[in-house]
Amino acid sequence: MIKKCLFPAAGYGTRFLPATKATPKEMLPILTKPLIQYGVEEAIEAGCTTMAIVTGRGKRAIEDHFDISYELEHQIKGTLQEYCLTEIQNVIEKCTFSYTRQAEVKGLGHAILSGETLIGYEPFAVVLADDLCDAKVGVLSQMITLYEKYQCSIVAIEEIPLENSNKYGVIAGVEIEKNIFKISNMVEKPESQDAPSNLAIIGRYILTPDIFDILRETKPGKGGEIQITDALLIQAQQGKVLGVKFDGQRFDCGSIDGFVKATNYFYKNQNQ
Ligand code: UTP
């Protein structure tokens, strides 16, 4: 059973400066809801009850968001605005939050390793909140169902235009069931001519806990950062990583283009 979900949220979010100078990127809203709340709701839907968040300096707003705000709640009690807090109050009731800090921004792999203290030795989910997913059955739910069958690490993948391969981890693998690939190779941010396929890893992972031991030994890779892709490659070489082409839609809200697309999409859906 996967009960814990890790949210690496220590990145600088430089593509959104100056908005992210004093505000965590994960707190940027799509309509009225911060990105990270969408991620937490997806994890709750998938059955997770502990949200483990890796933060850094300047990220305190995340902790305040997932906490009771007595003064505000008192002020708006009985007004039309009261209902605006219902969703976040439900989230706070349904799970617990724990936090640790990544002292230095040394890459996603390093952020995940920083979360070991919150996870312990058990399989866990990872959500990158800036990848916002919309699906009938949540993407993490789809992946946890698959984990129950295969009991190995799983990454969510999607087809991308090859010219974008240098923004993603890209996999090679064999399709063992419809939309499920046994991964044999993965390359972090390859140029299109070096990409092993057009299947890219997006911000949803199920990881078995041996990943922590592997990450401890993983040297800085692309961009001088400790890459989760490099650690996953070790598991993949042991035949222990699947990629799943999920049902649903994903928005790269870490980019301005994706953020605007997500805003329009959710706005349109809300008004339908
Ligand atoms: P990104 O590659 O999107 O980096 O990280 P970023 O810093 O958030 O954004 P830009 O590129 O500067 O605009 C992917 C995810 O990994 C987390 C980020 O918070 C984001 O959720 N991350 C990345 C960490 O937590 N720590 C790191 O050292 C690197």
pLDDT digits (tens, 9 = 90+) for 30-72: 999 999 999 999 999 999 999 999 999 889 999 999 999 999 9
Instruction: Look at residue 272 and tell me whether its pLDDT is greater than 80.
Output: no
Render pLDDT for 72-117 as a digit per residue (tens, 0 to 9).
Answer: 999 999 998 999 999 999 999 999 999 999 999 999 999 999 999 9
Render pLDDT for 218-264 as a digit per residue (tens, 0 to 9).
Answer: 999 999 999 999 999 999 999 999 999 999 999 999 999 999 999 99
pTM of the model as a whole: 0.96
Instruction: Please report, to the nearest 10 degrees, the dihedral formed by the alpha carbons of residues 224, 226, 228, 234 taken in order.
Output: 100
Query: Could you tell me the residue ranges of all domains in the chain?
Result: 4-270
Nearest to 246 by CA among 208, 212, 199: 199
18 cis-preceded (ω within 30 degrees of 0):
yes
pLDDT grade, residue 171 (50/70/90)?
A: very high
- Pocket probe for ligand 1: among 40, 130, 250, the residue whose CB has the most ligand atoms within 8 Å is 130
pLDDT of residue 139: 98
Work out the number of other CB atoms within 10 angstroms of the CB of residue 47: 15
Looking at the CA of residue 9, tell me the nearest atom of ligand 1.
19
Class of domain 4-270: alpha beta
Specify the 3-state DSSP secondary structure of 243.
strand
Ligand 1 centre to CA of 224 (Å) is 14
Which residue lies with its CA nearest to atom 1 of ligand 1?
Answer: 11
Looking at the CA of residue 110, tell me the nearest atom of ligand 1.
28
| Mean of per-residue pLDDT scores for the chain | 96
Radius of gyration (C-alpha) of the chain in whole angstroms: 18
pLDDT of residue 100: 97
Render pLDDT for 183-223 as a digit per residue (tens, 0 to 9).
Answer: 999 999 999 999 999 999 999 999 999 999 999 999 999 99
* Ligand 1 pocket, residue 9 CB under 6 Å: yes
Ligand 1 centre to CA of 50 (Å) is 21
Ligand 1 centre to CA of 14 (Å) is 9
Looking at the CA of residue 130, tell me the nearest atom of ligand 1.
21
Specify the 3-state DSSP secondary structure of 170.
strand
Instruction: Look at residue 140 and tell me whether its pLDDT is greater than 90.
Output: yes
Which residue lies with its CA nearest to atom 15 of ligand 1?
Answer: 128
Ligand 1 centre to CA of 92 (Å) is 25
Instruction: Look at residue 271 and tell me whether its pLDDT is greater than 80.
Output: no
pLDDT of residue 58: 86
**DSSP letters for 56-84:** -TT-HHHHHHTS--HHHHHHHTTSGGGGG
* Ligand 1 pocket, residue 222 CB under 6 Å: no
Pair of tokens at residue 228: 């989760």
* Ligand 1 pocket, residue 105 CB under 6 Å: yes
Instruction: Look at residue 148 and tell me whether its pLDDT is greater than 80.
Output: yes
Nearest to 115 by CA among 228, 243, 251, 24: 228
pLDDT of residue 270: 87
